[in-house]
Amino acid sequence: MGHGNSKSSSESSDDSPPAASGDVSKSSNPSRTQKLKDKLHLHRPHFRRHGRRSHNLSKLLKEENFAGIALLRIITAEMKFKDKWLACVTLGEQTYKTHVSDQTDKPTWNSEKKLLLEKNGAHVARISLFETNKLSKNNLIGYCEINLLEFLTQDKDSEDVTFDLFDPASKATVVGTVTISCSIEDPMETEKSFVKRILSVVDYDEDGKLSFDEFSDLIDAFGNQLAANKKKELFMDADENGDGVVSIDELAMLLAVQQEKEPLMNCCPVCGDVLEVSDRLNSMIHLTLCFDEGTGNQVMTGGFFTDKQAANGWMLKLTEWAHFSSYDIGLRSGSSASHILVFDRRKKRLVEELIDSKIVLSMRAIYQSKVGLGIMDQGAKEILQSISEKQGKKMESPESAKDIPKFDQINLEEAKYPLEHYKTFNEFFIRELKPGARPIAHLERSEVAVSAADCRLMAFKTVDDSLRFWIKGRKFSIKGLLGSEACSDSFMEGTLVIFRLAPQDYHRFHSPVSGTIEKFIEIPGCLYTVNPIAVNSKYCNVFTENKRVVCIISTADFGKVAFVAIGATMVGSISFTKQAGDYVKKGDELGYFSFGGSTVICVFEKGTIKIDEDLLENSGRSLETLVTVGMQLGVATSKCSEVELPIMDKCNLDA
């Protein structure tokens, strides 16, 4: 197949800019090469429309952590009513969606996506099904979670497996089923498949054969500087009968083998990124995911953070355009806080916390402007105090018990007592958990600190880091937080850990370290919200102005640790269950907050703790990490060399 058998220049130019009039008759290599480059870039996946890559290879993967590239296919579902259905799959920080089905109770998609699996990374995929008949938003009807590593190692009678879909409001209720398949391709087959798809770009008449000139042009389009005789050598090895044409299958196998010896592509033909020739594993991963055309089935659209974002319709685009809401990692100034994205440490994926739009707008009006804070200074602080006190009394009344069933975001199986045990809403809110519900990491090792609460956590090596990535209040300081009585020079440049509790969380807080309680110091103050909208405001100083109690714990491994329980709007009560002089082991209960959102801040003396890297990395991105009581927080620097830090997957994170 020579150039005479290829498509005409008028046909091929549809995929590239028109040539200048003086170059119409020319057929030089540079013009053909440019056309090929343009054609390759047309194969960019759908996620380009969303401005984000559907795979994250900013960190190079080590070979020992590579589990494979899985081809996940969402085939069909069976639901209990007819609608137009959309399916989403979330793994780690990426979410992909299928096309919308026809009106039916048995939607079929046959949509697929290649997913990078890491042994120590995200491998629990969440599949969500949405009905799409709403104008403003689509409703989540059912979901399931699949551990892909376990799924791929199980013996199955069929490649297609059906899973129950659970009601998001009740995990015990099955609302339908979804059928999927998932397989891992052999690395050599992955490279061969990739090369075949690249070679097919220049197979203009689609007969499955290439001439040497076409093959040479394609290598040039890759930006490879191989000598002409090297290209000829490769081509001739494949052209066994010497007729000047080679089948794509033959050439693909040859190039896949050659890629193992001496890579032909030193830059990605899709996105243009430079590939590290010596790093064959990451080059193969990059090329496979970037040029993902699958097996001919429809490829899922990517570029989303969460399934809720992927399932939103035109109303989300309108509100983003008007800047009423925005999806992004980190809140920066707090101006885009209607969708709070946090990273679930156990499931290793992004999850979304929604805030009612009316509350968002009102909080922005108050906390994101000088005028709003000026109003607060003119008496609104006293109003917040009064509202919190009244709400507290209401939650202590027997009538409040009727509101308990409405609080449906809680795992009741963990509660120490059945629902009917709680006579008021506040009794339920400050509920205890069953013994063992929160395993404590390395319980007998006092040099390992743990999470103090079920919360969204931020950790910073220094106060300066916290001001750069999270706290925007102009007057925030360690001395302002702890007060003059508790503050000391050793705390001034210490490590800061912020535990933000949402109303749906377990609201008892625990000691992150083992030691003796020296004293409690009560500091009166306001009851601002601890929502990130306020924390990220440069006009408000939530942590240093709110009511709080400072507890100083003296430890053998970390020196002194300042444990600060901070009240917030609707939290008029901070109760400690320990007394000065008591010895506490890490994980022991220290106290509880009454109804509302609230925060704990721990300040470690300078240079006494090495915080876990994943927590620091997320915090450096202004991304909160969702953790539970007892998860590992860090290790005493004096004992770091003696303690082997565990791989997160081997920790007790499933509680």
Report domain extents, the chain: 3-19+29-43+188-290, 63-185, 438-650
Q: Which residue did the predictor score with more confidence, 5 or 245?
A: 245
Does position 136 have pLDDT exceeding 70, yes or no?
Answer: no
**pLDDT attached to residue 1:** 37
Q: Identify which of 26-40, 533-547, 611-625 has the greatest average pLDDT.
A: 611-625
Q: Which residue did the predictor score with more confidence, 476 or 251?
A: 476
Does position 623 have pLDDT exceeding 60, yes or no?
Answer: yes
Q: pLDDT, tens digit, for every residue of 282-300?
A: 877 777 777 665 455 678 8
* Whole-angstrom distance, CA of residue 68 vs CA of residue 85: 30
**pLDDT attached to residue 179:** 97
* Whole-angstrom distance, CA of residue 95 vs CA of residue 89: 6
Q: What is the CA radius of gyration of the chain?
A: 29
Q: Identify which of 246-260, 397-411, 590-604 has the greatest average pLDDT.
A: 590-604
**pLDDT attached to residue 472:** 58
**pLDDT attached to residue 408:** 65
pLDDT band at 364 (very low <50, low <70, confident <90, very high): low
Q: What angle is formed at CA 499 by the lines to CA 491 and CA 443, rounded to 5 degrees?
A: 85
Does position 123 have pLDDT exceeding 80, yes or no?
Answer: yes
Specify whether the CB–CB gap between 363 and 531 falls below 8 A: yes
* Whole-angstrom distance, CA of residue 614 vs CA of residue 351: 16
* Whole-angstrom distance, CA of residue 384 vs CA of residue 291: 55
For residue 619, give every residue at least 6 positions away whose Cβ sits within 8 Å of its Cβ, in sequence order, or none. 458, 459, 460, 465, 469, 470, 625
**pLDDT attached to residue 224:** 59
Q: Which of 174, 160, 151, 149 is nearest to 74 (CA)?
A: 160
For residue 9, give every residue at least 6 positions away whose Cβ sits within 8 Å of its Cβ, in sequence order, or none. 24, 27
**pLDDT attached to residue 629:** 97
Q: What angle is formed at CA 509 by the lines to CA 503 and CA 514, rounded to 5 degrees?
A: 160
Q: Identify which of 235-239, 247-251, 340-344 has the greatest average pLDDT.
A: 340-344
* Whole-angstrom distance, CA of residue 337 vs CA of residue 366: 14
**DSSP label of 378:** I
Q: How many residues does the chain have?
A: 655
pLDDT band at 381 (very low <50, low <70, confident <90, very high): low
**Single-letter residue type at 204:** Y
**pLDDT attached to residue 517:** 98
pLDDT band at 399 (very low <50, low <70, confident <90, very high): confident
**Single-letter residue type at 302:** G
**pLDDT attached to residue 10:** 35
Which of 217, 454, 505, 557 is an active site residue?
454
CATH (one of 3.40.50.300, 3.90.1150.10, 3.30.9.100, 2.60.40.150) for 63-185: 2.60.40.150
Does position 191 have pLDDT exceeding 70, yes or no?
Answer: no
* Whole-angstrom distance, CA of residue 88 vs CA of residue 81: 19
Which of 6, 54, 510, 557 is an active site residue?
510
Does position 223 have pLDDT exceeding 70, yes or no?
Answer: no
Helices (H) and strands (E) in the chain, counts: 20, 29
pTM of the model: 0.73
Structure tokens at 316: 């989300």
The three-state DSSP-derived secondary structure of 335-384 is CCCCEEEEEECCCCEEEEEECCHHHHHHHHHHHCCHHHHHHHHHHHHHHH
**pLDDT attached to residue 651:** 43
Q: pLDDT, tens digit, for every residue of 138-154?
A: 889 999 999 998 898 88
- 598 as an active site residue: the answer is yes
- Percent of the chain exceeding pLDDT 70 equals 66
User: What φ, ψ does residue 412 adopt, rounded to 5°?
Assistant: -70, -20
**pLDDT attached to residue 368:** 56
Structure tokens at 186: 């052999």
Q: pLDDT, tens digit, for every residue of 542-572?
A: 788 788 999 999 999 999 999 999 887 655 5
Q: pLDDT, tens digit, for every residue of 441-469?
A: 999 999 999 999 999 999 999 988 887 77
Does position 53 have pLDDT exceeding 80, yes or no?
Answer: no
**Single-letter residue type at 152:** L
pLDDT band at 311 (very low <50, low <70, confident <90, very high): confident
- Architecture per CATH, 3-19+29-43+188-290: Orthogonal Bundle (1.10)
**Single-letter residue type at 319:** T
**pLDDT attached to residue 41:** 46
Helix (H) or strand (E) holding 142: strand 139-147
**pLDDT attached to residue 229:** 60
Does position 91 have pLDDT exceeding 80, yes or no?
Answer: yes
Question: Mean pLDDT over all residues of the chain?
Answer: 77
Q: pLDDT, tens digit, for every residue of 573-602?
A: 789 999 999 999 999 999 999 876 688 999
Cα–Cα distance list, 537 to 2, 210, 541, 544 (Å): 66, 61, 8, 13
Instruction: Indicate the pairing of strand 298-299 with strand 108-118.
Output: parallel
